[in-house]
Amino acid sequence: QENLVQSGAEMKKPGASVKVSCQASGYTFTNHYMHWVRQAPGQGLEWMGIIHASGGSTSYAQRLQGRVTMTRDTSTSTVYMELSGLRLEDTAVYYCAREEVGGRGAFDIWGQGTQVTVSS
């Protein structure tokens, strides 16, 4: 069964960094692009960036440029999202999502979400 499993909740202080993992199973990891999407409390979905699971190329949302880094480990079928210089407004649930094959840009499988709380 195709599945994405994310790491557990994190609590960080302002200025710190957080690294969230997302492990894929049940499909060929390198055939897909992977995305990160976040959702602040009571808010909508915000696209953060994309990583090609095979080649590792990335593209990030402009407002997060310089603070976000996405990487992958093909040996464990895992993608990572690291966000540095955390601010209170980075408090959110962070999701990884798989882009379906076919180039149509839809996210067909989602992780369960990781709560990241930034608090002093």
Partner 1 sequence: EIVLVQSPATLSVSPGERATLSCRASQSFSGNLAWYQQNPGQAPRLLIYSASTRATGIPARFSGSGSGTEFTLTISSLQSEDFAVYYCQQYNGWPPYTFGQGTKLEIK
Chain residues binding partner 1 by CB under 8 A are: 35, 37, 44-47, 49-50, 59-62, 95, 97, 100, 103-108, 110-113
Cβ-based nearer residue to partner 1, 44 or 75: 44
- Quote the least distance from Cβ 13 to partner 1, whole Å: 26
Residues 6 or more apart in contact with residue 93 via CB below 8 angstroms: 38, 39, 113, 114, 115, 116
- Quote the least distance from Cβ 63 to partner 1, whole Å: 10
Cβ-based nearer residue to partner 1, 80 or 95: 95
- Quote the least distance from Cβ 86 to partner 1, whole Å: 22
Looking up tokens 């992977």 gives 34
**Residue 110 and residue 82: Cα distance in Å, rounded?**
18
**Residue 83 and residue 72: Cα distance in Å, rounded?**
15
